[in-house]
């Protein structure tokens, strides 16, 4: 339902959704960088700012410029094979959200990129829940426990709330984005133990 609702929105509303997801998951990149000495969060912050600025003014990028930017972002996303901590997986998903949000600016394969953004956000939370709660994969109710976990419910609530808000407005204003940012900050999800 979330993906279908996103696909029906205009591009600027899709960018707002992507931007807000970046903001929710960026702290995981900062945490990983600070604790595991990998990546430059400032580069990822600039990428988020690029998405934000593109909401309000049509960016004049050609695909080659975006590809170059994506390469720089990619270099700041950890490869999980290089780290023995589950935080690398969370940082990978969180960085991937930022990567795909910038990738949206190419205006190609939008539905796939939105799906990836939604999936990576829930995958990051899924990973965190599994490790923090020391979950047993053999448990018959494993998936149900993840889906019903308060952290996962909060993320779904935020996604649905953002979509609902965006569906009620015709055009996006700075005030709308700030309102949504404030609402999601009250429900911030910190993925650290």
- What the block records as the tokens of 193 is 């133990």
Alpha helices (H) in 57-173, listed in sequence order = 63-74, 86-103, 110-132, 142-148, 150-167
pLDDT in tens, 134-173: 877 788 888 888 899 899 999 999 999 999 999 999 999 9
Structure tokens at 104: 């949206």
Domains of the chain: 2-185 (1.20.1590.10)
Among 36-45, 99-108, 114-123, 124-133, the least confident range: 124-133
Tell me the mean pLDDT in the region 53-64: 78
Tell me how far apart the alpha carbons of residues 21 and 24 are, in angstroms, rounded to a whole number: 5
pTM above 0.95, yes or no: no
Which residue, 51, 15, 45, is CA-closest to 27? Answer: 45
CA torsion 166-172-175-177 (nearest 10°) is 60
């Amino acid at each position: 339902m979330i993906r279908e609702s996103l696909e029906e929105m205009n591009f600027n509303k899709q960018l707002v959704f992507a931007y807000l997801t970046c903001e929710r998951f960026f702290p995981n990149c900062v945490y990983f960088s600070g604790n595991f000495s990998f990546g430059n969060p400032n580069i990822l912050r600039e990428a988020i700012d690029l998405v934000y600025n593109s909401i309000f003014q049509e960016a004049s990028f050609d695909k080659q410029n975006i590809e170059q930017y994506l390469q720089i972002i990619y270099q700041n996303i950890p490869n999980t094979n290089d780290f023995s901590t589950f935080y690398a997986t969370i940082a990978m998903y969180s960085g991937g959200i930022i990567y795909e949000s910038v990738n949206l600016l190419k205006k190609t394969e939008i539905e796939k990129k939105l799906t990836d953004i939604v999936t990576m956000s829930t995958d990051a939370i899924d990973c965190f829940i599994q490790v923090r709660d020391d979950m047993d994969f053999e448990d018959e109710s494993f998936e149900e426990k993840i889906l019903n976990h308060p952290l996962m419910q909060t993320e779904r609530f935020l996604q649905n709330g953002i979509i609902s808000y965006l569906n009620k407005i015709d055009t996006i204003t700075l005030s709308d984005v700030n309102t949504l940012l404030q609402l999601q900050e009250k429900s911030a999800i910190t993925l650290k133990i």
